[in-house]
Amino acid sequence: MSSDHDTAFIDLRAITKRYAGVTALDSVDFTVQPGEAVCLAGENGSGKSTLIKIISGVEPATEGTVRIAGKERPYLNPRISAAAGVMVIFQDFSLFPNLSVAENIAFATQLSTHERFFKSRATREIARKALDRIGVEIDLDARVETLPVAQKQLVAICRALASQAQLIIMDEPTTALTEKEVRRLQGIIRMLKDEGVAVIFVSHKLAEVLEVSEKVVVLRNGKKVAEGPATDFDTQSLTYHMTGRDVPEVPPSEVMAGAETLMHVESLTKEGSFADISFDLKTGEVLGITGLLGSGRTSVAKALFGLVAPDAGSITVEGKPVPTGDPQAASMARIGYVPEDRLTEGLFLSQSILRNVAIGRLDAHTSGGFLNMAGLVDEASDWLKRLKVKAPDVEAPVQSLSGGNQQRVALARWLSRAPRVLVLNGPSVGVDVGSKADIHDIIRDLASQGIGIIVISDDLPELLATCHRILVMRDGRIIDELDGRSVTEDDLAHRLAS
Amino acid sequence: AAEAHSKNIATVVKIAGIQWFNRMEEGVNKFAEETGMNAFQVGPAQADPQQQVALIEDMIAQGVDALAVVPMSPEALEPVLGRAMEAGIAVITHEAAAQQNTAYDLEAFVNEDFGANLMEQLATCMGGEGEYAVFVGSLTSQTHNQWVDGAIAHQEANYPNMTLVGDKNETFDDAEQAYTKAQEVLRAFPNIKGMQGSASTDVAGIGRAIEERGMEDATCVFGTSLPSIAGQYLETGAVDGIGFWDPAVAGEAMNKLAVMVMNGEEVTDGMDLGLPGYESISLDGKVIYGQAWVNVNADNMADYPF
Amino acid sequence: MTDHASTKTITSAPEFRLLIIAVFVFGLMSVLSPDRFLSAQNLTSMAFQFPEFAILALAMTITMLTGGIDLSVVGVANLSAVVAAIILTQFADPAMPASQSVIWLSFAIAAALCIGALAGLVNGCLVAFFGLPPILATLGSGLVFTGFAIAMTGGSAVMGFPDTVAVIGNAQVLGIPVPLILFALLAIVLHLILTRTAFGLRVTMFGANPLAALYAAIDINRMLIKVYVIAGLFSSVAGLIIMSRANSAKADYGSSYLLLAVLIAVLGGVNPYGGYGRVIGVVLAVLSMQFLSSGLNMLQVSNFARELIWGALLILVMVINTHAVTALRGSFAKTPK
Amino acid sequence: MTGWLPKDFWTRNETLVAGVIALFCIIATLSDPRFFTITTVSDLLRASIVIGILAVGAMLVLVSGGIDVSFTAIAVFAMYSSTVLFLAIWPDAPWPLIFAVSVAFGAFLGAFNGFFIAFLGLPTLIVTLGTLSIFRGFLLTFIGSQRISDLPPDMRDFSRGVLARGTTEAGNFYSIPWAALALVFVIVLTWFILKKTMLGRSIYAIGGSVESARRIGINVKWTQFFVYVYVGALAGLAGIIHGSVGRMADPFSLVGLELSVIAAVVLGGARLIGGYGTLTGTLLGVALIVIVQNSLIVVGIPTTWQSVTIGILILLGTGVPAYRAKRAAARAG
Ligand SMILES: Nc1ncnc2c1ncn2[C@@H]1O[C@H](COP(=O)(O)OP(=O)(O)OP(=O)(O)O)[C@@H](O)[C@H]1O
Ligand SMILES: Nc1ncnc2c1ncn2[C@@H]1O[C@H](COP(=O)(O)OP(=O)(O)OP(=O)(O)O)[C@@H](O)[C@H]1O
Ligand SMILES: [Mg+2]
Ligand SMILES: [Mg+2]
């Protein structure tokens, strides 16, 4: 044990982090050896990001000592930490939307070398090298804001690679990546390890976690509950440690025989995004739409809810045409949409949980121009209870909830409107295993009540666990339609990548 | 006698702190010293009629005996001055000939005559012919418009060979704006020979533009201003002459009138207020006119150090 | 538990600190100048003074809640007043019997409100449909509205109203000044709109996260237009009060009220980036400003110093609020599990 | 076809503003051929100096993700108090010294803003709204409220100094004052900071995302502090130039101009959300506002309609790109 501490690149002892009222980390010991890949696992809110923030100097620890490269660091900030060789790929990427790809990649490196003047040629060189290393082609002069999410994530990864890092920390680096890019990332991690660079890897995708890491550390409620070589764990046992219970996935039950067509989409086309999208959705059916990066799935999902105006094509719900390109019309036709990025698109973070749910049902509780507050509170509380949202107080701001609970609040808003069709874009992105299974249960339950559900996802197990049918998209077109109950994960992965 | 010493007289001016009203305050203070009354001057921080209304409200609330007001916008003050008079406060105004709710309005002169007086000098300088332009601080300022209208009328009646070019140019009482407007006038009307300003900063801005182009001798510039503002341009000849009335005397005269009203004394046509320019006033209804204008040029500017 | 929590939220709200400031200023002025500040004369005088800019501050508040701002409030106020004044001077004779002039007065009021609504509609469309940043949209439209008022009047004041016009700005009902009554009504109306209607909730939510509002299928354009129309209507009411108190209308009345209205709204705890703001805070801010202002006038403190004190007060309140917020942040983030 | 042009050339604000300027000039020339002369150009240049310097400062603040409405108050404060100071202690001081002191005053007041914004983390709009009142109130209460025309003689000499002055053969007068060099200096210095130093890039980065900047180790507080000090210094410079060239220290001038300056900067493509803004755009925005404000007589717009005209110009200038951006965003989904 003590020798562990002696050789460690990162050596945290008895770290406690308290935010007024919350203990995010509770006396955690944590070491990383040079060249070691450590996996940090835990449910939402278990303290993973907090631990990373302490190592990278973004937040100070309340108690405990931090040693980096053998030196005690009583005072740490991002600059010192970076100078010591710690690079982080943050959960939210932390990029500069207004700057070019090249500058985004090179900025941290240039800061760490105490560069005073800005040289654009050197900047491009640094960026080019980093991109070459993972073999991606991105326009160096493009502004980051114009890139799709997945490319943004790649830029964030390149930024970490660009510097002479001793340790690269990846906080859920794969959420926006498709299988193919995840494979490439895993390759990079192996390469880094060979070069003696240590890696801390946080992910909710348990299979990929186990594949690349040597050591696994599991956090629960801010405490370290398990630690050991990766070979000692499998998905099952990891889940058990994270949640403290077993979470089995059940496959979806059959669609009711003779179910009627609920939604009909005909030749939906949008220049440059998707073309000729046609499909039917039956009552009680869960339809998956999947595809690689840039395949157009998000655009299709948004088009169904009127957020993207298609150039051609039509949508009908229960036989009635729905005007396209108008979210209000879609919502009137009882289509619901839970967006991909709940922090910026889905929720009003500073507002109360109650208001976040109620916003969808204000008109129904208005009489004589005024709101019936009691009715509103009752209804919202009821939905929060039905979705098992763990909240101390419905008046608390929604930002005080963990990711999984936030996602349920977003769901509650739409469910309270009794939708006929619910479009779920990445329903469990960044949600922990326990909550994920719960959300899948909710999806199956809703379908059994006759709601038509469209799940957009690239999480294959998720698709298999919830969908009756799966549409595969490539280059903006539907190229395959699979039976969700008979297809296997390998088969699906193969069709996606081919 | 005892009550004469305990009177509170507030002089409320358009805006606090600027030279013009500081000079007026000298007159008010002189009056206070000589009579032993509690005469003082206040003014809002911003040139906004509503602020002046609020200030007068506060004065009424604290129970002054008399108000001497230089309205920013006479119409806007009617209601509040009406309330003041109802409360038994003696109200005297200045530069507001149309004011209804006042015991007397004091005018240093008939505005149109003052404008004509400036025009007379301008026309003489221009030799009675050529293009000229006029400037006002703001199109919403009544006195500025009266001066300019009086000047134009005087020109039309007496100097048929002179022509007014362009509109009334608005300078927002800002020397910088007057400067750019003057530049523009010089560009748009290259043959221009004369300019007449109204706001005290107008001739300063005009003078600067003239000086920059080296046209001091080719042009004639007259306007209302103060020696402290226009002095440097009078020296170089960029500005040829200015006219004004001494605000200190006006301030003193207002306070004097206020006391007369409080004591129930009658003001009559041809009366002598015992102040320079107001030796023989003419009374037209409630409006008291003096002949208190002062014409200043490079030769006599040293006599007026403000 | 709930008892404890609610008292805690009341005392920790920024509005509570404003209440303390208002009471403190009132107390201070009463002590410094007891016979004059506390006189009935002064209290009514203050009640006559603040409603016009306080109403403008309310208009500012609702636009700020959406993360916008309305820099055209003074322009709208003057334009509506000018239109009303022109109607009154054209059709109503000052010598007309009161019963007849009341009809024309109501007509003029209706016209002024229409102008206010119309101007608000223009602002709303600029912000909603054309996507202009509100600060520039209303800066530009404010110039246009003022410009129309100048063009319609040639820049001079419009005056010569029947006596009934004076009622709006100068009369008292049961000893309460009419402008104060109007302000109180509008403040209550706005408070109810913001807290008790679907529209009000949407306004705040939109201010908190416009993108999420789009994804929640809120009709954003309609909501924004309503917001600016309400601001325009409020401004025109302020314009009518100014007109009545000045017994005339002119394009440049109240030019100092714009910054004052912004200052009051912000001092009142409204977040200028949207998502938070309460009418009670704005009311308390208005009162503090008026107590301070009248009190300082009585003490014959220079009016320039007043500006200095306002600015300092604003920053002081912000420093206190921000620090209180940092200290309290944890009390919201309760353990979710 | 247009390979040498930047890819987004036709959709940039700069292009649009330049187009509007060209269009306006054509209309003005058609309505009065005398418009298109060297006189007009030199007059407009002179009118742009002070606004230009202020606009460069305002642009920097917008880029950093803030907004500053106090810079006009800083400019007047620095100008007036340095004038008063030198009149009291050394009226014959050389102008560069007086200028330096004004710049230092400006930087000092900017540091106030910087302190509250960078170190206490208060919202920029509120802080600068407050300091606008404080600086102005302090100046008028404690330093003075009178216009001063008897400036130190060397300041007057500065205003008489010209780089070029004369009359063309066609009889068109022109004059370029020394002060134009100050604008050039400010532009070059700011260009260098923004484009060639890590500090400048950090300002853009902070404007893009403060949190990201903090996380990759940019010293956000000191960068913000620098921005406000620098802007204060620029305001001090603009103020003293305004005073000496106008040959009057007027404590009531400039304040009230802040929103028009910000409008000019936004016209030039800077965004209120931060992270975007270029010097070219800013200067074009200033040029447009100055040209229109100073050419309405030539174009024949009656004085009573001028404020309507300028209002419509601001609406069009900011509305067209805003509308285009909105449409583009809607198309992209
Ligand atoms: N700034 C903060 N103030 C108060 N509480 C905080 C703050 N940041 C995090 N917390 C709390 O600390 C706990 C740990 O959060 P952390 O972000 O480390 O979780 P995580 O394991 O990264 O979760 P996820 O998988 O959702 O990213 C949570 O309960 C969270 O609510
Ligand atoms: N308006 C447009 N013009 C040109 N290309 C576009 C436009 N909109 C989208 N695209 C391109 O079309 C492709 C499909 O985009 P889309 O965002 O739908 O992909 P996606 O698969 O849904 O992304 P994600 O992996 O984030 O879910 C991308 O290559 C995108 O860059
Ligand atoms: Mg996390
Ligand atoms: Mg001459």
CA of C285: how far to CAs of B48, C57, C278, D116, in Å? 22, 10, 11, 22
Q: What pLDDT score was predicted for residue A385?
A: 84
Q: What pLDDT score was predicted for residue D88?
A: 93
Q: Find chain A residues with C-beta within 8 A of C202's C-beta.
A: 359, 362
Domain span at residue D234? 37-267
Where do we find the tokens 């010991």?
A29
Q: pTM for the complete prediction?
A: 0.83
Pocket flag, ligand 2, residue A149 (CB < 6 Å): yes
Task: Provide the token pair at D116.
Answer: 């509250």
In chain B, which residues have pLDDT < 50?
A: 1-4
pLDDT of D138 strictly over 80:
yes
Q: Which residue in A107, A115, A144 has the most chain D C-beta atoms within 10 A of its own C-beta, making it the best mutation to test that interface?
A: A107
CA distance C81 to chain D (A): 18
SS3 C70: coil
Residue D123 in domain:
yes
Nearest to C156 among B44, B63, B140 (CB): B140
Cβ within 8 Å, pair C246-B73: yes
SS3 B185: helix
Q: How far is the CA of B223 from the centre of ligand 4 (A)?
A: 12
Residue D320 in domain:
no
> What confidence tens digit (pLDDT) does each residue in D71-86 have?
999 999 999 999 999 9
Outline where chain C has alpha helix (H): 2-12, 14-32, 34-37, 40-49, 51-65, 73-91, 98-128, 134-153, 166-170, 178-196, 198-208, 210-215, 220-246, 257-267, 279-298, 303-332
pLDDT of C8 strictly over 70:
no
Nearest to D272 among C135, C145, C319 (CB): C135
Q: What pLDDT score was predicted for residue A201?
A: 86
Residue D26 in domain:
no
Q: Find chain C residues with C-beta within 8 A of D134's C-beta.
A: 307-308, 311-312, 315
Q: Is B49 on the interface with C (CB under 8 A)?
A: yes
pLDDT of C337 strictly over 70:
no
CA–CA separation, D265 and D314 (whole Å)? 11
Atom of ligand 2 nearest to the CA of A476: 14
Q: Domain extents for chain A? A: 3-243, 261-497
Q: Find chain D residues with C-beta within 8 A of C150's C-beta.
A: 304, 307
Please say whether the beta carbons of A292 and A304 come within 8 A. Answer: no
Q: What pLDDT score was predicted for residue A462?
A: 84
Please say whether the beta carbons of A470 and A440 come within 8 A. Answer: no
Cβ within 8 Å, pair C253-B76: yes
Residue of C nearest to A332 (CA): C217
Q: What pLDDT score was predicted for residue C9?
A: 60
In chain A, which residues have pLDDT < 50?
A: 1-2
Q: What pLDDT score was predicted for residue D325?
A: 80
The correct CATH number of A261-497 out of 3.40.50.300, 3.30.470.10, 2.40.10.500, 3.50.50.60 is 3.40.50.300
Looking at the CA of A272, name the nearest ligand: 2
CA–CA separation, D23 and D16 (whole Å)? 10
pLDDT of C6 strictly over 80:
no
The single-letter DSSP state of residue A392 is S
Q: What pLDDT score was predicted for residue C335?
A: 31
Domain count, chain D: 1
> What confidence tens digit (pLDDT) does each residue in D5-37 have?
666 666 677 888 888 889 888 888 888 787 778
Q: In the complex, which subunits touch C with 3 or more CB pairs below 8 angstroms?
A: A, B, D
Q: Find chain A residues with C-beta within 8 A of D276's C-beta.
A: 98
**One-letter identity of residue D271:** R
Q: What pLDDT score was predicted for residue C5?
A: 40
Q: What pLDDT score was predicted for residue B2?
A: 40
CA–CA separation, C149 and C227 (whole Å)? 23
**One-letter identity of residue B138:** S
CA–CA separation, D184 and D177 (whole Å)? 12
Residue of A nearest to D214 (CA): A78
Q: In the complex, which subunits touch A with 3 or more CB pairs below 8 angstroms?
A: C, D
CA–CA separation, A491 and A471 (whole Å)? 13
Please say whether the beta carbons of C289 and C50 come within 8 A. Answer: yes
Element (H, E) at A32: strand A22-32
Best mutation site among A51, A54, A402, A429 for ligand 1, i.e. most ligand atoms within 8 A of its Cβ?
A: A402
SS3 B222: strand
Best mutation site among A44, A433, A439 for ligand 1, i.e. most ligand atoms within 8 A of its Cβ?
A: A44
Task: Provide the token pair at D262.
Answer: 């910000």
Residues in chain B: 306
Q: What pLDDT score was predicted for residue A21?
A: 57
Q: How far is the CA of A266 from the centre of ligand 2 (A)?
A: 20
> What confidence tens digit (pLDDT) does each residue in C101-151 have?
888 899 999 999 999 999 999 999 999 999 888 988 998 999 999 999 999
Q: Which residue in C252, C259, C290, C296 has the most chain B C-beta atoms within 10 A of its own C-beta, making it the best mutation to test that interface?
A: C252
Q: Find chain B residues with C-beta within 8 A of D298's C-beta.
A: 184, 187-188
Q: What pLDDT score was predicted for residue B288?
A: 92
Q: What pLDDT score was predicted for residue C142?
A: 93
Nearest to A78 among D200, D201, D217 (CB): D217
Outline where B14-106 has alpha helix (H): 19-35, 49-61, 74-86
Where do we find the tokens 């939906």?
A268
D60 φ, ψ (degrees, to nearest 5):
-60, -45
pLDDT of D195 strictly over 70:
yes
CATH code for the part of the protein at C50-324 = 1.10.3470
> What confidence tens digit (pLDDT) does each residue in A222-233 have?
889 888 888 888
Characterize the bridge pairing of strands A10-19 and A63-68: antiparallel
Q: How far is the CA of D284 from the centre of ligand 3 (A)?
A: 45
pLDDT of C330 strictly over 70:
no
pLDDT of C11 strictly over 50:
yes
Looking at the CA of A90, name the nearest ligand: 3
Ligand 1: residues within 6 Å at CB? A 19, 22, 24, 42, 44-50, 91, 402-403, 432; C 330, 333, 336
Residues in chain A: 498
Per-residue pLDDT, averaged over D251-272, amounts to 86
Q: What pLDDT score was predicted for residue C303?
A: 78
Nearest to D123 among C135, C148, C272 (CB): C272
Q: What pLDDT score was predicted for residue B50?
A: 83
Topology (CATH) of A3-243: Rossmann fold (3.40.50)
pLDDT of C4 strictly over 50:
no
Q: Lowest-pLDDT range, B14-18, B272-276, C84-88, D232-236?
A: B14-18
Nearest to C48 among B40, B57, B138 (CB): B57
Q: How far is the CA of A142 from the centre of ligand 1 (A)?
A: 33
Neighbour tally for C32: CB within 10 Å: 13
Q: How far is the CA of C209 from the centre of ligand 1 (A)?
A: 21
Q: Domain extents for chain C? A: 50-324
Looking at the CA of B203, name the nearest ligand: 4
- HSE toward the beta carbon, residue D111, CA cutoff 13 A: 6
Atom of ligand 2 nearest to the CA of A291: 21
Q: Is B129 on the interface with D (CB under 8 A)?
A: no
